[in-house]
Amino acid sequence: MEWIECIKRSIDWMEKRLPGKCDVGEAAGEIGISDLYLQKGFKFMTGYTMTEYMRNRRLYLAALDVIAGKEKIIDLTYKYGYETPESFTKAFTRFHGMSPMQLKKDVSGMHVFLPLKIKISIQGGNDMDYIVEREKSFKVIGFERQFTMEDSYQQIPKFWDEFCGRYCVRLKQGIKPTNAIEETICNCHVGMYGVCIDDLQEKGRFRYMIAGKYTNGDVPEGMSVYEFPDMQWVKFLCRGPMPGALQSVNTKIFNEWLPGNPDYEIELGANIEWYAEGDTHSLDYESAVWIPVREKVKG
C-alpha cells in the first residue's frame, strides 16, 4: 500500500471513532502496517502524534457542543472520554485558552481544529544520500526498554543520558572495564546503534535498544540480544550535529522518500539509527538511518 494512502486511511479511521477515545495502535492492524512506522510517519508528516490529533479533534468538537448548549458539562465529560468534569474543563481550557463557560460568552477565541488533509509534494527523494544493500542475518546486543510513541521523544533521550552518564564517560577516559557489562560495551561497541523494534503484543508500545554488534559470548545480566534476519536495507547517510541533522533526515524519509516510492516498501517493523564515534556537535558528524525494505512486485 502507498505510504500516503496509509496516512489518509489512519485519519479516516480515527475520524470514524470520534468523539470517543480509541487505541490508535489498533489502526495499524486495520490498515496492515507496522504500528511503529504508522505512528512515526504520522508524526513526521503532520507534526502531531496520533493521540494528539485525536485529543485536539475531540476538544474542538466539544467546543461546538458547548456553543450549541444542548448538553451539560458532565454529559460532555463522558461523551469525550474524560473521567471527571474537572479533568475535562482543565483539558478544554488548556486547548482553547478559556473555560467552557467563558467560551459561551465569547466564541471568537475558539481554537479551530479541522480534520487533516494530506497533501504531499514529492521533492525528489532520489537526491537524498542513501544506499540500498543486503545484510546477512546479524545480532545486536545492548540495553532495552519499552516506550510509547507519546513518551518516546522525551524518554529515549533520557535513556541515552542515563547510559552515557553511567558508562561512556569512564570508558572514554581510558579506564579499563571492571565487569562483564563494561567489557561487552567495549567489545561490541554498544552505543553505535539505536534500535526500534515493533513486536510487542500491546499496541502502541515498542522496544528500544541502545545497542552494538553482537558476535558471540555470554550475555551479561541486564542486557539483551535481538537478531535481524537476512534482508535488504536502505541506509540514509546524515552529516551534521545531533539531534537536528538526524531529525531532518527522518522527516525527509517520511515526507519525500517513502510517499509514492516506485521501487521499495517497508519490510519489517523495525529500524536502526547508526552513530559514528566522535563529536556529535560537529558540523561533519556522521550518522545514518537504516530502514528494512523489500522491492515492490511490479505488475
Q: For residue 117, is it within any domain?
A: no
pLDDT value at residue 299: 61
Q: Higher model confidence: residue 190 or residue 129?
A: 190
Contact 236/289 with Cβ under 8 angstroms?
Answer: yes
What's the CATH code of the domain at 171? 3.20.80.10
If asked whether residues 103 and 130 sit together in one domain, one would say no
Domain termination residue (choose one: 42, 76, 109): 109
Total of domains in the chain: 2
Contact 212/188 with Cβ under 8 angstroms?
Answer: yes
SS3 114: coil
Residue whose entry in the numeric block shows the C-alpha cell 526500534: 196
Q: For residue 88, is it within any domain?
A: yes
Q: Would the pLDDT of 10 be above 60?
A: yes
Residue type, 34: S
Average predicted confidence (pLDDT) for the chain: 88
If asked whether residues 39 and 100 sit together in one domain, one would say yes
Q: Would the pLDDT of 119 be above 70?
A: no
Q: Which of 5-9, 126-130, 167-171 has the highest mean pLDDT?
A: 5-9
If asked whether residues 136 and 103 sit together in one domain, one would say no
Q: What average pLDDT does range 232-254 have in this prediction?
A: 88
Domain termination residue (choose one: 109, 140, 165): 109
If asked whether residues 72 and 178 sit together in one domain, one would say no
Q: What average pLDDT does range 147-172 have in this prediction?
A: 86
Q: Would the pLDDT of 120 be above 60?
A: no
pLDDT value at residue 146: 96
Band the pLDDT of 5: cuts 50, 70, 90: confident
pLDDT value at residue 245: 85
pLDDT value at residue 123: 45
Q: What average pLDDT does range 262-278 have in this prediction?
A: 91
If asked whether residues 24 and 132 sit together in one domain, one would say no
Domain termination residue (choose one: 59, 85, 109): 109
Q: For residue 115, is it within any domain?
A: no
Distance, CA of 197 to CA of 208 (rounded, Å): 6
The length of the chain, given as a count of residues: 299
pLDDT value at residue 118: 66
DSSP string over 194-235? EEEE---SSTTEEEEEEEEEE-SS---TT-EEEEEPSEEEEE
Full-model pTM: 0.74
**Cis (ω within 30 of 0) for the bond into 292?**
no
What's the CATH code of the domain at 38? 1.10.10.60
Q: In terms of residue numbers, what domain contains 59?
A: 3-109
% of the chain with per-residue pLDDT over 90: 47
pLDDT tens-digit readout, 194-205: 999 999 888 778
If asked whether residues 168 and 135 sit together in one domain, one would say yes
Q: What average pLDDT does range 101-116 have in this prediction?
A: 88
If asked whether residues 98 and 231 sit together in one domain, one would say no
pLDDT value at residue 127: 57
If asked whether residues 251 and 166 sit together in one domain, one would say yes
Q: For residue 118, is it within any domain?
A: no
Element (H, E) at 31: helix 25-31
If asked whether residues 43 and 143 sit together in one domain, one would say no
If asked whether residues 17 and 77 sit together in one domain, one would say yes
pLDDT value at residue 122: 42
pLDDT tens-digit readout, 164-188: 988 887 767 677 888 999 999 999 9
Q: Would the pLDDT of 23 be above 80?
A: no
